[in-house]
Amino acid sequence: MRPWLFLTASHLAMLGIGFAAGIYTLPILTAARPPKPAAYQAIVDVPVGIDVRDYNTVVIWCEAFDQFISAAAYRPSRQALK
């Protein structure tokens, strides 16, 4: 095999490996830091006049990306208990 063919093949292989490693590591290196544990336990301020016992679901909304994440039932409402 000619030396230039071997060098070309080895350089292309290294280029492919470097590209794949970059695609794998770039999201890890540029990811935002996770919130501190205290942020998970933060209490949301509820406007005056709103009784949370009247509701049985929560909506999880990402303000950073302005996107709906999920909704979940967290307890029966007062109307359901009557």
Percent of the chain residues topping a pLDDT of 90: 32
**Domain tally, the chain:** 1
Q: What is the pLDDT of residue 69?
A: 92
E-strand ranges in 9-80 read: 57-62, 67-73
pLDDT band at 55 (very low <50, low <70, confident <90, very high): confident
8 or 54, higher pLDDT:
8
As a whole number of angstroms, the distance between CA 11 and CA 14 comes to: 5
Provide the mean pLDDT of the chain: 85
The two tokens of residue 31 are: 């990811």
Q: State the amino acid at position 32 in one-letter form.
A: A
pTM of the model: 0.41
Mean pLDDT of 22-51: 84
Domain of residue 31 covers: 3-81
